[in-house]
Amino acid sequence: MGKKIVIVGAGYSGILTAKKLAKKFKRNSDVSITIIDKNPFHTMLTELHEVAANRVDEESIKISLKKVFAGRRVNVKLDTVTSIDFEKRLVKGAAESYAYDYLVLSAGSKPTFFGTPGAEEFSFKLWSYDDAVQLKNHIHDMFRKAAVETNPEERKKLLTFYIVGAGFTGAEMAGELAEYAPILCEHFEIPRREVTICNVDFLSRTIPNLPEKLSEKVEKRMKKMGIRVMLNTSVVKIGKDFAETKRNDVVTREGTYTVIWAAGIESADITAEAAKTLQSGGRGRIALDPYLRSLDHEDVYVVGDNMLYTPAGEEKPVPQVVENCEHSAAAAAHNIACAITGKGRMESYKPSFHGFMVCIGGRYGVARVGFPNLMVNLPSWLAMFSKHLINIIYFLQVLGWNKVFSYMKHEFFTIRNRRSFVGGHFSNRTPSFLLVPLRVWLGAVWLFEGVMKIVEGWMTSPKLTGFFGGAQAWYDTIINSGSANAAVDAVSSATGAGEAAAQAGDAAAQVGTVIFNFDFLGLFQAIFVSGQALAHSTLPDFAFKLNIPLMNWFTKTLILPYDGVQVGMQIFIVIAEILIGLALIGGLFTFPAAGFSLILQFMFVTTTGLYLGTFWMIFAGIAVLVGGGSTFGLDYYVMPALKKGWRKIPAVKKSYLYHD
Residues 375-391: tens digit of each pLDDT: 999 999 999 999 999 99
Nearest-Å Rg of the Cα atoms of the chain is 32
For 44, the 3-state DSSP assignment is coil
Q: Span 474-481, mean pLDDT? A: 86
CA–CA dist 229, 201 (Å, integer): 8
Q: Span 19-48, mean pLDDT? A: 96
Provide the pLDDT confidence category of residue 627 given band limits of 50, 70 and 90.
confident
Residues in the chain: 660
Rounded percentage of the chain residues whose pLDDT exceeds 90: 84
DSSP codes, 552-601: HHHIIIIITT-HHHHHHHHHHHHHHHHHHHHHHHHTSSHHHHHHHHHHHH
CA–CA dist 371, 374 (Å, integer): 5
pLDDT of res. 512: 86
Q: Give the amino acid at 69.
A: F
Q: What is the pTM of this model?
A: 0.85
Q: Span 103-128, mean pLDDT? A: 96
The more confidently predicted of residues 533 and 580 is 580
CA–CA dist 157, 234 (Å, integer): 20
pLDDT of res. 332: 97
CA–CA dist 50, 362 (Å, integer): 8
CATH code given to domain 119-263: 3.50.50.100
pLDDT of res. 491: 45
Q: Span 523-545, mean pLDDT? A: 92
pLDDT of res. 582: 98
Q: Span 314-333, mean pLDDT? A: 94
pLDDT of res. 86: 97
- Statement: residue 511 has pLDDT above 80: no
Q: Span 128-155, mean pLDDT? A: 97
Q: Span 218-245, mean pLDDT? A: 97
pLDDT of res. 127: 94
Provide the pLDDT confidence category of residue 485 given band limits of 50, 70 and 90.
very low
Please say whether the beta carbons of 15 and 303 come within 8 A: no
pLDDT of res. 313: 87
The topology under which CATH files domain 3-109+266-350 is FAD/NAD(P)-binding domain (3.50.50)
pLDDT of res. 659: 83
Rounded percentage of the chain residues whose pLDDT exceeds 70: 95
Written in H, E and C, the secondary structure of 344-406 is CCCCCCCCCCCEEEEECCCCCEEEEEEECCEEEEECHHHHHHHHHHHHHHHHHHHHHHHHHHH
pLDDT of res. 490: 43
- Statement: residue 494 has pLDDT above 70: no
- pLDDT digit string, tens, across residues 298-309: 999 999 999 999
The more confidently predicted of residues 481 and 334 is 334
Provide the pLDDT confidence category of residue 486 given band limits of 50, 70 and 90.
very low
- Statement: residue 481 has pLDDT above 80: no
Q: Span 65-89, mean pLDDT? A: 96
- Statement: residue 631 has pLDDT above 90: no
pLDDT of res. 428: 83
- pLDDT digit string, tens, across residues 120-133: 999 999 999 999 99
CA–CA dist 239, 529 (Å, integer): 76
- Statement: residue 660 has pLDDT above 80: no
Task: Provide the pairing of β-strand 286-287 with 265-267.
Answer: unpaired
pLDDT of res. 495: 46
Least confidently predicted of 439-448, 514-523, 571-580? 514-523
Portions of the chain given CATH number 3.50.50.100: 3-109+266-350, 119-263
Angle, alpha carbons 427-428-430 (nearest 5°) = 140
To the nearest whole number, what is the mean pLDDT of the chain?
92
Least confidently predicted of 464-468, 479-483, 635-639? 479-483
Q: Span 64-73, mean pLDDT? A: 95
Q: Which residues contact 131 (CB under 8 A, 6 or more apart)?
A: 48, 52, 124, 125
pLDDT of res. 493: 46
Closest residue by Cα to residue 86 from 301, 289, 310: 301
Please say whether the beta carbons of 223 and 229 come within 8 A: yes
CA–CA dist 529, 510 (Å, integer): 13
